[in-house]
Amino acid sequence: MTNATLLRDFMQKVWNEQDFSAIPAFLAPEYTIHLDHTDPWEGKTLTHEEFRVRLGHSFGPFPDMHFAIKSTIADGDSVAITWVMTGTNLGNIGDIPATHRAIEAEGMTIYYFKDAKICGHSQVFDRSTIIRQLGFS
């Protein structure tokens, strides 16, 4: 299985289907978030359990979050994807009540691999788009 195929399967199983029990099949025991501005986990290395907690912070406010992969570029131990994320704000964001508004944002993530497991990422997307769509600005 190529890294690109593994990544597509990870995005589908863990993110789109929210099958958190599949995390060990895809992620290395240590997963580092190298770059992901405004992500509270930026610069941290997570265990599988900490990665599950991080997913909970994403799916709590947006339980129907979904990623559609638009392109994939593989280079050695890295795979870059561009994606469109959609979802509906049905849960609180911190102390802010749900807006029940839909969101759609585009972004790019580079995933890093070691020994056929995903061991981290760097990500760029404009979170201000989501803030506007939710009516916060």
Q: Where are the domains of the chain?
A: 3-133
Does the global pTM surpass 0.75? yes
Question: Is the pLDDT assigned to residue 38 strictly greater than 90?
Answer: no
Confidence of residue 115 (pLDDT cuts 50, 70, 90): very high
- Long-range contacts of 17-22, Cβ-Cβ distance < 8 Å, separation of 24 or more: 18/55, 18/59, 20/52, 20/55
Say how far apart CA 106 and CA 82 lie, in whole Å. 7
Over residues 80-86, the mean pLDDT reads 98
Does domain 3-133 correspond to CATH entry 3.40.470.10? no
Instruction: Give the model's pLDDT for residue 57.
Output: 94
Amino acid at 27: L
Q: Are 85 and 66 in contact (CB under 8 A)?
A: yes
Share of the chain above pLDDT 70, in %: 100
Residues linked to residue 93 through DSSP beta bridges, in sequence order: 96
Distances (CA, A) of 34 to 43, 48, 129, 137: 5, 16, 22, 28
**102-114, strands of its sheet edge to edge:** 45-46, 27-35, 117-125, 102-114, 78-88, 66-75
